Structure 1
Amino acid sequence: MFNCFSRRASRRWLYPLISLSVVLGLCLGQPIAAKAISWGDLILRGIQVVQLSSMSDQQELELGRQINAELTGGQVRLNRDPELNNYVNQIGQRLAAQGPRPKIPYTFQVVQDNSVNAFATMGGFVYVNTGLLKLADNEAQLASVIGHEIGHIAARHAVKQMKETAIAQGVLGATGLSRSTAVNIGVELALLRPNSRNDEFQSDQLGVQMMGRAGYAQAAAADFMTKLLRQRSTPTFLSRHPATSDRVARLRQQVNPAQASGSGLDNTAYRSRLRSI
């Protein structure tokens, strides 16, 4: 009886130790640089494993918050003008309410950077550079970019890319991905990694659909993409979001003739909202 109990007790201790050793191996063996932490913190953080194949909306949101904290903590400089941020947020919320994942609490932020760029990360976080705001002719053109970025979030492209990157870097274990590694990859994806053509086409389609449902002139999406392609130097947005003439053609095909015109085409009104930049 005692031996049976002893064997059972041993097994109860053995399985958690095996799981902990796997997690520690993931954390210690990852090639991505991380901040030095104590053994106690390592054990506590090590059990925070991200399972990419079954990530819930709440888990995606929490990971997105951590990626956003890393980005805004030193990677990008946010514009703090409340009026401008409120304007961009109003556009974003108007579009997101018409998207495939309207229950995610989306966050729209203006980045103080003159390069023409916009990007997004999982969990509903969208970033728009002041350079892109200034290049757009009107609110509908800006809405086309924001809608495109919402499309990436709606289709969970960042989650898919994170899994692909983790596999390529050899840091995805049987139990999943350590949270610190996931955050590092998330930051890298947001700032550096381009999206695939298929992801771009899907986000374009979702963005145009959201524009129409929100009452924006859908034709502005193709107009702004054409304007980007005509720039003398390649905008940062295009280096991360490959743009070709066939993308413009597809955007025009996706426009509902009844929604080609709509709100957001007043150039003067739009410029008046950008006085602070």
Structure 2
Amino acid sequence: MVKRRKRYLIAIIVTLIITLSYQLPSYGNRWFEILIQGVQILQITQLSDADEVKLGEKINQQLLESGEVKLNRDREINGYLDKMGQRLAQSSDRPNIPYTFLVVNDDSVNAFATMGGFVYIHTGLMVKADNEAELASVVAHEIGHIVGRHALKQMRQQAIAQGVMTATGLDENEAIQIGVEVGLRLPRSREAEKEADQLGLANLKSAGYAPIAMITFMEKLLKLSESGTLTILSTHPATSERIVKLREAIDPVTANQGDGLNSKEYRRQIQSLL
């Protein structure tokens, strides 16, 4: 009888700890991690910046190891993108996490971001841009997704839809796989795209780039899509609506004021891709 009562008591204590780990992740989750002894369970809705960066690193590792993302190793091109990206990152609304900007060796016109500051830009997109400001507008938009934590929100939705989200959170391996899908294939919501545009435009301006570039590049994408499907438009929907909203948000008097409109200089910077 005494042993049975002890078992009941232990069961109750474990249940309470699990409940606390879900409701009070700031300290309850540590108790739960001790109990499960190494099994990685993530509280996606309340992930810290440090944990988000770690998850982004693991998603990046999976993307590279799977062969779905092949990086361009040109030091000058990567240095050029990183310099631009860091300029934008520091003027964004979330400058306190490390950002990693990666050139993907792919002729398709595409760009995407995962969580934790990882931004991927295809060489095909870099070639299609007419100037640095247009490229910067894409990078700023992707940073906007990171600032808005859109990938994390979408990951949570997918985990619930797939039935892999539990009361305690999401298994890390499941999170990595879903993170890959979110980054590469799943379309963003209209709300997420609108917010990323707003955040990206504000970022573009604060970094000193000409805001008109965000509109000119989107118009170019829309025109290209008429002759075939663009990957970037499959994951970044409602381009026509977004252009209208951006035109409303940009003052035509100052639209062309700022850096990055020199096409000749831009071509010189990406010469190895041409």
Distance across 2 between alignment mates of 1:11 and 1:215: 63
Indicate the residue corresponding to 1:167 in structure 2: 160
Which residue is 1:245 aligned to? 240
Alignment-derived partner of residue 214 in structure 2: 221
Q: Does 1:268 align with 2:261?
A: no
Q: Contact (CA 8 Å) 1:141, 1:220: kept in 2 or not?
A: yes
**Alignment-mate amino acid for residue 204 of structure 1:** D
Report the number of matched residues: 252
Residues 184, 18 of structure 1: CA spacing in aligned structure 2 closer, same or farther, 3 A cutoff? farther
What is the SS of the residue equivalent to 1:210?
helix
Partners of 1:51 and 1:176 within 8 A in 2: yes
Partner of 2:76: 83
- Check conservation: 1:48, 1:179, Cα contact below 8 A: yes
**Alignment correspondent of 1:112:** 105
Shift of 1:237: 0.7
What secondary structure sits across from 1:102 in the alignment? Answer: coil
One-letter identity of the residue aligned with 1:162: M
Q: Provide the secondary structure at the position in 2 that maps to 1:75.
A: coil
- Confirm or deny: 8 A CA contact 1:212 1:259 kept in the other structure: no
Among candidates 29, 44, 51, match of residue 52 of structure 1:
44
Residue pairs, 1:9-48, within 5 angstroms? 11-12=9-10, 45=38, 47-48=39-40
1:122 aligns with 2:118: no
Equivalent residue letter for 1:262 = G
Aligned residue in 1 for 2:181: 188
Secondary structure of 1:276 counterpart: helix
Q: Secondary structure at the match of 1:104?
A: coil
One-letter amino acid of the counterpart of residue 181, structure 1: E
Q: Give the equivalent residue in structure 1 for 2:54.
A: 62
Q: Which amino acid is the alignment partner of residue 98 of structure 1? A: S
- Consecutive unaligned residues in structure 1, runs of 5 or more: 21-42
Distance (Å, rounded) in 2 between the aligned partners of 1:234 and 1:3: 70
Report sequence identity in percent: 50
TM-score scaled by length of structure 1: 0.85
Structure 1 position 100, deviation (Å): 1.1
Select 1:151's aligned residue among 144, 154, 158: 144
Distance, in Å, in 2 between the alignment partners of 1:180 and 1:240 is 23
**2:272 counterpart SS class:** coil
Q: Distance in 2 between matches of 1:137 and 1:104?
A: 30
What is the SS of the residue equivalent to 1:77? coil
* Cα offset, 1:249, TM superposition: 1.3
**Is the CA contact (8 Å cut-off) linking 1:229 and 1:243 kept in structure 2?**
no
Native 8 Å contact 1:225 1:248 kept in 2 = yes
The one-letter amino acid of 2:239's match is: T
2:269 aligned partner, one-letter code: R
TM-score by length of structure 2 reads 0.86
Q: CA-atom RMSD, angstroms?
A: 2.2
After superposition, give the CA deviation of every residue in 1:191-243 in whole Å (9 maximum; x if it has no partner): 10000111111101111100100100000100000011011222211111014
Which stretch shows the higher mean deviation, 180-189 or 9-18? 9-18
